[in-house]
Amino acid sequence: MDAPRRRPSLPLQLLACITLLLLPPLTGAATVVRRLPGYHGALPFYLETGYVTVEETTGTELFYYFVESERNPRTDPLLLWLTGGPRCSVFSALAYEIGPVKFVERRYNGTLPQLVYNPNYWTQMASIVFVDSPAGSGFPYARDSRGYDVGDVSSSMQIVAFLRKWFHDHPGYLSNPFYIGGDSYAGKVVPLIAQYVSEVFIMLRLSTSTQGYLVGNPLTGDKIDDNSQIPHSHSFGIISDQLYEAAMRNCKGDYVNPANKLCAEVLRTINNVRRILVLYY
């Protein structure tokens, strides 16, 4: 039997990332998008898209959508935004969550889906770089199949490489307050990216005005996430005090692996209550 492969230590992984970042930041091809299929007329905001090479050996290219703040892009915050899955396209955040367009919800009639202006979006007060990551999600791709074999650490390092090159092409944003954000599965990688940006950019003497990070409805770890659902449901009034107290009394804080019949029964009742709700509440 082959010996198990040892995972590289974090310092070695950081060294590999730094080696990549020391390479000249090649300027990527960017396109200013003035019209979108399904949107009537010219877009009333600045939208730029493009690819950035983040791994030379595998030819890994990440894709981004950059929407400039409509208020004051020279001084407004800059936000990097990732989405979950893993491997879901960040276009969902652009068109369904915090972006300046949204779909018209109606029954399909054989024509293109309609997009309209979204007045309740974050780019009224911040510029946002939406990034598809890793390769295999949305438009990113790799020329070598090894480029699709990435985990949380390696994909986080690719985002750091992306940021170095993106800031090289957009130096005017280096002084803007910078935040790193994401939702769902991005809750696992956003803190890593924030840490790597802080450590690696200092080593490379790259100056950004990084202010912090934010996560929405984040995934952190299965045991923590699953066990937190019962107290979370109770805090929102989704389950009654009686059910919550029964769960605490019989499950002793472990709501994932019930150790007795009473715990299993109360969890079954709670799950039946929660099934009538949407996934994100």
pLDDT digits (tens, 9 = 90+) for 28-41: 578 999 999 999 99
Three-state DSSP at 83 gives: coil
Q: Say yes or no: 144 and 257 in one domain.
A: no
For residues 52-81, average pLDDT: 96
The answer, yes or no, to whether residue 217 has pLDDT greater than 70, is yes
| Dist. CA 269–CA 217, nearest whole Å | 24
Q: Say yes or no: 134 and 244 in one domain.
A: no
Q: Say yes or no: 36 and 162 in one domain.
A: yes
Q: Judge whether 78 lies within some domain.
A: yes
| Dist. CA 47–CA 65, nearest whole Å | 7
Q: Say yes or no: 49 and 183 in one domain.
A: yes
| Dist. CA 275–CA 254, nearest whole Å | 20
Helices of type H across the chain: 10-21, 91-92, 152-169, 186-203, 222-235, 241-251, 261-274
Q: Judge whether 1 lies within some domain.
A: no
For residues 131-152, average pLDDT: 93
Tens digits of residue pLDDT in 251-263: 988 888 888 999 9
Q: Say yes or no: 34 and 138 in one domain.
A: yes
Number of separate domains in the chain:
2
| Dist. CA 154–CA 150, nearest whole Å | 6
Q: Say yes or no: 236 and 173 in one domain.
A: no
Q: Say yes or no: 50 and 121 in one domain.
A: yes
Q: Say yes or no: 26 and 107 in one domain.
A: yes
Burial 111-122 (b: 16+ CB within 10 A, else e): eeeebeebeebb
Contact 82, 133 (CB under 8 A): yes
pLDDT band of 204, cuts 50, 70, 90: low
pLDDT band of 199, cuts 50, 70, 90: confident
Of the candidates 61, 55, 72, 7, the residue with the CA atom closest to the CA atom of residue 29: 61
Tens digits of residue pLDDT in 163-190: 999 999 999 999 999 999 999 989 889 9
Q: Name the domain boundary from 216, 231, 266.
A: 216
Q: Say yes or no: 65 and 171 in one domain.
A: yes
Q: Judge whether 125 lies within some domain.
A: yes
Q: What is the mean pLDDT of the chain?
A: 86
Cis ω before 134 (30° cut-off from 0): yes
Q: Judge whether 65 lies within some domain.
A: yes
Q: Judge whether 279 lies within some domain.
A: no
Q: Judge whether 113 lies within some domain.
A: yes
Segments forming the whole domain that contains residue 240: 222-274
Of the candidates 61, 19, 16, 18, the residue with the CA atom closest to the CA atom of residue 162: 61
Stated as kind and residue range, the H or E segment containing 213 is strand 209-216
For residues 84-99, average pLDDT: 91
Contact 126, 69 (CB under 8 A): yes
CB 41: neighbour CB atoms within 10 A?
8
For residues 94-108, average pLDDT: 92
Of the candidates 217, 245, 260, the residue with the CA atom closest to the CA atom of residue 84: 217
Q: Say yes or no: 237 and 168 in one domain.
A: no
The answer, yes or no, to whether residue 132 has pLDDT greater than 70, is yes
Residue 2: the pLDDT is 39
Q: Say yes or no: 207 and 230 in one domain.
A: no
Q: Letter for the amino acid at 98?
A: I
pTM comes to 0.78
Q: Say yes or no: 126 and 72 in one domain.
A: yes
Residue 129: the pLDDT is 98
Q: CATH number for the domain including 127? A: 3.40.50.1820
